[in-house]
Amino acid sequence: MAGRLDGKAAIVLGGSSGFGEAIARRFVREGARVMIAARGEEKLRKVAAELGCEAFACDATSWTQLKALADAARGAFGRLDVAVNSAGYADSVPIAQLQPARVEKMVAVQYTGALYFIQHIANAMVAAGNGGSVITISSLTGTLVAEGHAPYAGGKAGINHVTRIAASEYGAHKIRFNVVSPTTVATPMLAQMFATPGVREAIAAEAALGELPEVEDVVHAVLFFASDEARFVTGQNLHVDGGGSLRRLPRGDEVARSVAAAVARAKRAPQ
């Protein structure tokens, strides 16, 4: 059976772990030729060898290295059809306690690096002349208020809007730009948070469906935007959140109460 991405060439930035690795695995299964990129070269090479795809060591904040990534993919494949930016990391601090180094590091990954990725990928697609699809993994925190996440959520909100601008600027070249915004998902990046009893329950309580998505739910959304099924969809932000964007994110004190309740239940449970 033909895959949904047969004949397409794709880049997945952040492709050696988390969402990016799952997306790369699905793209390969769907028939795409894939280049994964990440900063940690050892793990990158290991995943690439397992998937049978290309690897490119790249700092997601570097204008120069991101341009080299786009050029390398086009050189390797002769074309570039799909690009996904899944690079990111978690950090949380109240505005009152922010320090410049912490803010600048976060903004470099979540906003300026993501902007440079869009720029270089789009220009490479223009040069290739066959259109394309550029997908950014954002976050529900870029839409709703997330206390303690001003640099992270602000960067995500900014790149969400940049996506709309890019969709307009590059539309004549048949290049589409879309965002997938998951709510909190159990990825390796958030393993420590999910290991705390009560956190998952607090977040799920604010979703209309009453539960959190799995990694594959996010992969399905990305695959839709990457495929020709979405050929007429651009400038959109798809929330994979079980209806969380219809409501709000829990406050810090609400999460703390949920954690305390979970700990109390565990203590009362028969040993």
What is this structure's pTM?
A: 0.90
Q: Does 9-185+211-247 carry CATH code 3.30.1330.10?
A: no
| Residue 264, pLDDT above cutoff 70 | no
Lowest mean pLDDT among 40-54, 135-149, 257-271: 257-271
Taking residues 68-87, what's their average pLDDT?
97
Residue the block writes with tokens 């080299």: 68
Per residue in 177-226, pLDDT (tens digit) is 999 999 887 666 665 665 666 677 777 888 899 888 899 999 999 999 99
Domain limits, the chain: 9-185+211-247
